[in-house]
Amino acid sequence: MNREILDAIREKGLLIEKEVYDLISNLEDVKIAKSFLETLERLSGQKIITKSVISKNIEYVQKIFAQSSEGNGVAEKIFVKLGLNLEITKEQEIVRKNPEDKRVRQDFQIFYADTKADKKLEVSDFTYHLRARYQQIQRILMQRPGLINLVSIGKISSNRQMLSIIGAVVEKRPTKNKNLIVKFEDLTGIISVVFKSDNIELYKKANDLQLDDVVAVKASGNSDLLFGYDLFYPDSFLTNKTKFDEDVSIAFLSDIHAGSNRHLKKSIARFLEWINSDDENAKKIKYIFFVGDNVDGVGIFPNQEAVLELKSMAEQYNLLASYLHQIPKRITMFMCPGQHDATRVAEPQPIIDRKYSEALYNIDNLILVTNPTLIKLLEKEKEFRVLMYHGASIHTFINEIQDLRMAKAHRTPAKAVREMLKRRHLAPTHSSVVYIPNADKDPLVISEVPDVLCTGEVHRLDIENYNGTLIITGSCWQAQTPFEEKVGNIPDPAKVPVLNLKTRELRIFDFGDEEEINREY
């Protein structure tokens, strides 16, 4: 066994740390061991397989050793020796109110995004961030069936062949013959792929590619040039739709913009009256998600003070807190920030800063979370996953994808959110949002397919279902602003979607006060 593994290592020209070799030697099946080496090389994009490579691909390593009847127990001992944890690493899992509250709740789990930025950023940080993202999405794509002869770009030979690659888009341009050339990059090299215009469906799919998208391509050709004949996004599929036994519901609100002189106080008062009423639908609500831009903020855009009723963050959050105190205590509220809230704009955004929002921290049934955040609602063995993301990247998707731009998708923003699920990333193109690079794991990758992806930002309620995932883009509690009027955006305020977790039925409730919404300013 060891001799055959050594022969495979020599054949591939690999250099392996002794401890990693000891780990691989515990796989009793030579075929599994060889496949393990090949995959590690492909995932890392390098010939030197170290403890660091194992650590970064821990999920794959655990899966391989789980298939081994004896290897898993021995491997666990070696992992301890290596100083690694055999557990699958995830975003920080929280089952309590917030980082300062020790009380444990058993009906939900919160997975905060990693928001730390603990050093001065350098160009290399963005490089490592994009490498980490590539590897995350690469692992998703490798689970797709039908990727024949999957090879790294650097290993494509000079002989013509049929193959598949997984690459990130680095350039896209039309040719004189109206074909499309897309340059793809992986951790081993760059290659150009031609998509011919006579294949209308494939050409359109390739033309929708955005810079930094990570996709799989079936192609034929050699190391000089490939001709694409199919293209796969990582995509999102929810096969099992969770339904709770308990007859409870979730409500979704966003873009309250407390403090704006166009903030809809009467409309939100109607909602608060309803949520405290004996209405059967209101009494079933167990959770409320507030998806960002909870206040209007200060200094967010030039001359903002001219459209503010409350001129300080503290005043705005005090008004917001006065609303939240009226929500029944039986309801758990989750609140993430948006660009107008008191936290940095760069994503992932930390929870709202206590310095400006002390009033929020005194509300027992309010949980402040990051943007984005994955929340799992629990009932015995069942879990219902809600991914909250305020949605700053929606505008980039609409502006850059031709079909969305031509359809004026700001009026139907859920179509843009579909693109996030298709790409398994909330903001794939560098510069589409301001972000903090993370060398270990890109927090904007959609690693688990959610039951619900809820956003705000565009001020229009829109609903779609994409491969089993319910998309909800939130309404707002602000009348049309001068900026929205200038760019032609017509808000759809004071609508509250309510989703029943037992039936998965979605109902929309309208709390708009027409006189307030249409008044002149």
Q: Where in the chain are the domains? A: 2-82, 153-232, 249-517
**What is each CA distance from 484 to 313, 410, 414, 478, 492, in whole angstroms?**
22, 11, 19, 11, 12
Please report the pLDDT score of residue 104 as a whole number.
Answer: 45
Please report the pLDDT score of residue 36 as a whole number.
Answer: 76
In terms of Cβ atoms closer than 10 Å to its own Cβ (0-12, 13-18, 19+), residue 415 is buried
Establish whether domains 153-232 and 249-517 are of one fold.
no
Alpha carbon distance 500, 472 (integer Å): 14
Pick the CATH number of 249-517 from 3.60.21.50, 3.90.1150.200, 1.10.10.10, 3.40.50.2300: 3.60.21.50
Three-class SS string for 330-383?
CCEEEEECCCCCCCCCCECECCCCCCCCHHHHHCCCEEECCECEEEEEEECCEE
Nearest partner of 36 among 8, 13, 11, 10, judged by Cα: 8
Q: What is the CA radius of gyration of the chain?
A: 25
Please report the pLDDT score of residue 70 as a whole number.
Answer: 46
For the chain, which residues score pLDDT lower than 70?
Answer: 1-2, 28, 42-46, 52, 55-106, 118
Nearest partner of 153 among 195, 181, 194, 188, judged by Cα: 188
Please report the pLDDT score of residue 446 as a whole number.
Answer: 97
Alpha carbon distance 251, 504 (integer Å): 12
Please report the pLDDT score of residue 396 as a whole number.
Answer: 94
Question: How many residues are listed for the chain in this entry?
Answer: 521
Residue 403 main-chain phi, psi, to 5 deg: -60, -40
CB 436 within 8 A of CB 206: no
Please report the pLDDT score of residue 37 as a whole number.
Answer: 77
Please report the pLDDT score of residue 98 as a whole number.
Answer: 42
CB 417 within 8 A of CB 391: yes
List the structure tokens of 380: 């015995």
Please report the pLDDT score of residue 88 as a whole number.
Answer: 35
Sorted by sequence, the CB contacts under 8 Å of residue 456 that are 6+ apart come out as 254, 255, 291, 292, 293, 338, 390, 391, 473, 474, 476
What CATH number has the domain spanning 153-232? 2.40.50.140
- The SS3 of residue 506 is strand
